[in-house]
Structure 1
């Protein structure tokens, strides 16, 4: 997809909103991907027009934010629809959170890995390319997405571990990337386990290409955390692009559907930059 096609996609989505007065931000299908003792976990799927199970579409999966305690899959419905209209299968996924399931951040990571593995294991039935899976998310959901690409272990032992739970790329929105005293979440992971699921403490060679959007004035997840992570990734030979949003705080990226903003300027910017990033890394849409 060329830059011109990206522009046209954005224009047509915006034009549809103006002409019709609304865009359908509801998922095209909903299905379970994991059964836990705390309850079933669902994927909310958004599909390109005319999509068939014989297709090999790239797929992007979003994990909502909420401090591993709360959150709603609707946070990423607008992004998911944008990607579906751009030719991707897009998923907004549930995962266990403390408020509803009385679980910890460690179960969140395990669920994220289960979700990636499910997509890869069921690629033929879902019409997706198992080698073009993008993990995405915001804040604690950005942490879940990052952990699928960085953290070893924390897999469900009853799953087929021969199927990889590592995505092929990551797009992260103000992600929790350090769970120690220098970052966010130490009270939730505990001092004795503060680095176990802290992506900044597990950077090695071979991590999937990563794009990060972060506000420089974020008071929840310090901007310095993602700067440090980007530096570590680059030093290990990994691709990690950090795009700062000057003066913006936590959750700056949300679209008008979720936050009822007056404009979608930042939303459109992050979406276009995401498509450009994926194009550079060969997540091309087959015509």
Structure 2
């Protein structure tokens, strides 16, 4: 697809979202976090009511879709919940193959750019720059974990003095193994050594929660257990929550209300444990 046409589609879709929420009486901010050539990349920032003391922690969502497709709508139900609970939330649009003809490496560069943009502008946005949580599902879970663990794949226009590393991770069936036995190796190939979070776990990784179904055909339970073990071995907190019999994508609101609610509750409890959310009555 022509890149300028892709930008028009993105911008037009965001205008529809703005109009919809304006008519419904909700306020949300759409902003450009990065421009690549003629492409403008957007994120949607949601801030809690003024009753919450600023600055507030931020939860950043990356949609799934194999770095091929997807939209910010995937995590809107989660974002609405956490914004009502007192967090700022950001739904990040990033480049994908079917829309932009790009590689997974471009998706990661975008994911890092989004956090740098939000951290750079934290004061003016009312965000706590030291309380940023990255989250996502499937390939979006890869991007979230990669912002924390992968050193390379930075946009050349980014200010590398601004850290892209989040302070916590909430991962929904993340494809964090991109090696020969993992997901996406046919596209990543030997660069998996630098691109795969499973192969780049290091001391100082942020506290992490992983939510995974036991029947996931893309993320074996053994892989998640190994990731958890390695994180803990190096001194980082890592919780693995398994959901019996559930398949890839089980947590999505439009897939199962039951498991959406269960994973939402577990993520909420995890963020409470960090001291960044009030306990619910």
* TM superposition score normalised by structure 2: 0.86
Q: 1:270 to 1:25 in 2, by over 3 A?
A: farther
Maintained 8 Å contact 2:150/2:197: yes
Structure 1 residues 72-115: Cα deviation after superposition (integer angstroms, max 9, x where no partner): 11000000001001101111101111111111111111111111
Shift of 1:46: 2.2
Secondary structure at 2:67 match in 1: coil
Maintained 8 Å contact 1:183/1:222: no
Shift of 1:47: 2.3
Greater relative CO (CA pairs within 8 A, separation 6+):
1
Q: Corresponding residue for 1:206?
A: 204
Q: Corresponding residue for 1:217?
A: 215
Equivalent residues, number: 256
Maintained 8 Å contact 2:113/2:164: yes
Query: Unpaired runs of 5+ in structure 1?
Result: 1-23
Maintained 8 Å contact 1:27/1:45: no
**How many angstroms apart in 2 are the aligned matches of 1:265 and 1:217?**
17
**How many angstroms apart in 1 are the aligned matches of 2:38 and 2:178?**
25
**How many angstroms apart in 2 are the aligned matches of 1:76 and 1:139?**
12
Secondary structure at 1:58 match in 2: strand
Q: 1:208 to 1:27 in 2, by over 3 A?
A: farther
**How many angstroms apart in 2 are the aligned matches of 1:165 and 1:266?**
30
More off after superposition, 116-125 vs 29-38: 29-38
1:248-259 to 2 correspondence within 5 Å? 248-256=246-254, 259=255
Select which of 261, 273, 279 maps to 2:272. 279
Q: 1:230 to 1:161 in 2, by over 3 A?
A: same
Q: 1:254 to 1:109 in 2, by over 3 A?
A: same
More off after superposition, 241-250 vs 40-49: 40-49
* TM superposition score normalised by structure 1: 0.84
Shift of 1:153: 2.1
Compute the RMSD of aligned alpha carbons: 2.0
Secondary structure at 2:193 match in 1: coil
Secondary structure at 1:78 match in 2: helix
**How many angstroms apart in 2 are the aligned matches of 1:179 and 1:241?**
21
Q: Corresponding residue for 1:4?
A: none
**How many angstroms apart in 2 are the aligned matches of 1:59 and 1:101?**
28
* 1:34 pairs with 2:34: yes
